[in-house]
Amino acid sequence: MTRRDLIHKWTVYALGLLPVWVLDAYILSRYPLWGTSPMLLPLAVAAVAVLEGAYAGTGFGLAVGLLWELAYPGGFGGLVFYLALAGMAMGAVSQYALSQSFAGCLICSAGVLGLLDLLRVARGLLVDLASLSDLLQVAVPEFLWSLAWTPPVWLLFRTIYRRVGGTKLA
Amino acid sequence: MKDFLRQNGILLLAIALLLSILIGALSFVMGGQADPLSDLMGVLTTPIRRGVSAAADWAEGAYGYVFRYGEMEQELKDLRAQVGELEERVRQGEEAIRENEQLRELLGFQARRRGLTTEPAKVTGRSTSNWESTLTLSKGTSAGVDAGDCVITETGVLVGVVAEAGTNWSTVSTVIDTDTQMGGIVNRTYSAGVLEGDFALMNKGRLKLNYLPEAAQLVSGDEVLTSGRGDMFPSGLMVGRVEGVFTDPSGQTRYAVVQPAVALDSLIEVFVIKDFEIVE
């Protein structure tokens, strides 16, 4: 794969991320379902990591983490490393333990979302933000509603993968 | 995984870690001012944010016109009746103000003044996280907006406080956000307390008026205003109404649950108070 092909491939992936980001940041946040907005960006990382493997998953996770930290309010930096690490882990797990399928993506998405919410609940308990039950009342619907968005996100990135993914441009 | 190690994957992870530390350090150092990276991103994404917001506002307006016409007509009738009642109250109020001015003059008190310097701004984004309640505005430091400025509606109802200001955007922590903390006072009884966001109440769209005096006799529907204690925020801004009074689980203090007067979901335009001068 030439350098030009590589740039072409990742430009298409970035363009694929654009509607996911707009939907996540500006549309779904306006219309929460029972007061809950989904998190779509970790799903995009999961889909790309499952399809492209650990190395590409790390890079894509890093880029999405940067987007999340810089374009959303209240960033503290941790998401860049978390999503890069998650991208690597999901890519490796899909290569060795799972398959490059929707089921694999769903399991990886559940993992990345679950751990993220778990960290938020732990942080909430640590800073005495609220009781465990109050924190879980936010975390559980958020996890489930976000996970429900896995199919469209997976379909979008699988379509991109089928056209430009892997070494297809080589 | 071999590919990952062969392709310098560890280097990518190290870059991610460094970027995390850099962003964290910058946001810590900059305080309420947006760090240069976030500011740049905010400026670059402004056209998208404004475009999507304008399209969504237009679509909501069209939906309301088509599907809620009857409801809006009824609302208009109710508002006309309310305007009539309020005009009568304004006439009575003007009379009382004149009398008050005369009495202050007789006693040699300084004339009561209330000057707010405001900047109008559009709401271009809403909370993207379920763990906080924020709004993104279309004005920033280039328009004189700074962290700590109060944000109100056109009728003077408190919306929140600017938490972070970029060049042409700013983020507002709304009154129900857990970061909110300011002096509050119950208009009827003059009972003072501390207005605080509470995580459990935030998801119900409510906030707390904490540390109420033991003798405070509040009833449901009492108006809660900002007290202006500490001169950080203007006094007399409408926050909401008391919904109920409870005792803290420790049994030490009493608090009131306040329903904000602002409809956070349907805000389109707000005003940032850049400066204020109030003489009571």
Express each pLDDT in B48-77 by its tens digit: 888 888 888 888 888 878 887 888 888 899
DSSP string, B17-79: HHHHHHHHHHHHHHTTBPPHHHHHHHHHTHHHHHHHHHHHHHHHHHHHHHHSHHHHHHHHHHH
Distance from CA of B51 to the nearest CA of A (A): 10
Q: What is the ipTM of this complex?
A: 0.79
Distance from CA of B7 to the nearest CA of A (A): 7
User: Average pLDDT for residues A32-59, to the nearest whole number?
Assistant: 90
Give the mean pLDDT of chain B. Answer: 85
Which pLDDT band, with edges at 50, 70 and 90, does B112 fall under?
low
Nearest to A69 by CA among B54, B164, B150, B257: B164
Answer yes or no: is pLDDT of B126 > 90: no
Residue of A nearest to B16 (CA): A81
Residue of B nearest to A85 (CA): B13
Which pLDDT band, with edges at 50, 70 and 90, does B253 fall under?
confident
Q: Which CATH class is domain B117-275?
A: mainly beta
pLDDT at res. A114: 94
Which pLDDT band, with edges at 50, 70 and 90, does B217 fall under?
confident
Determine the number of helices (DSSP H) and then strands (DSSP E) in chain A: 7, 0
Distance from CA of A132 to the nearest CA of B (A): 10
DSSP string, A84-122: HHHHHHHHHHHHHTS-SSHHHHHHHHHHHHHHHHHHHHH
Answer yes or no: is pLDDT of A170 > 50: no
User: Average pLDDT for residues B82-101, to the nearest whole number?
Assistant: 87
Q: What is the distance between the alpha carbons of residues A96 and A167, in angstroms, rounded to a whole number?
A: 19
Which pLDDT band, with edges at 50, 70 and 90, does A167 fall under?
low
Q: What is the distance between the alpha carbons of residues A54 and A111, in angstroms, rounded to a whole number?
A: 15
User: Average pLDDT for residues A53-58, to the nearest whole number?
Assistant: 88
Higher-confidence residue: A150 or B25? A150
Please answer yes or no on whether B12 and A71 come within 8 Å at the CB atom: no
> Which of A34, A58, A131 best probes binding to B when mutated, by most B CB atoms within 10 angstroms?
A58
CB B106 within 8 A of CB B135: no
Please answer yes or no on whether B23 and A77 come within 8 Å at the CB atom: yes
Q: What is the distance between the alpha carbons of residues A65 and A119, in angstroms, rounded to a whole number?
A: 16
A to B CB pairs, distance under 8 Å: 141
Express each pLDDT in A87-135 by its tens digit: 999 988 888 888 888 998 999 999 999 999 999 999 999 988 888 988 9
Distance from CA of A112 to the nearest CA of B (A): 16
User: Average pLDDT for residues B31-48, to the nearest whole number?
Assistant: 81
Nearest to A71 by CA among A102, A41, A97: A41
Whether residue B188 lies within 8 A of chain A, CB to CB, comes out as no
Minimum mean pLDDT range among A68-72, B30-34, B117-121, B232-236? B30-34
Whether residue B263 lies within 8 A of chain A, CB to CB, comes out as no
Is the whole model's pTM more than 0.95, yes or no?
Answer: no
Chain B residues whose beta carbon lies within 8 Å of the beta carbon of residue A55: 3-4, 7, 9, 12
Please answer yes or no on whether A74 and B25 come within 8 Å at the CB atom: no
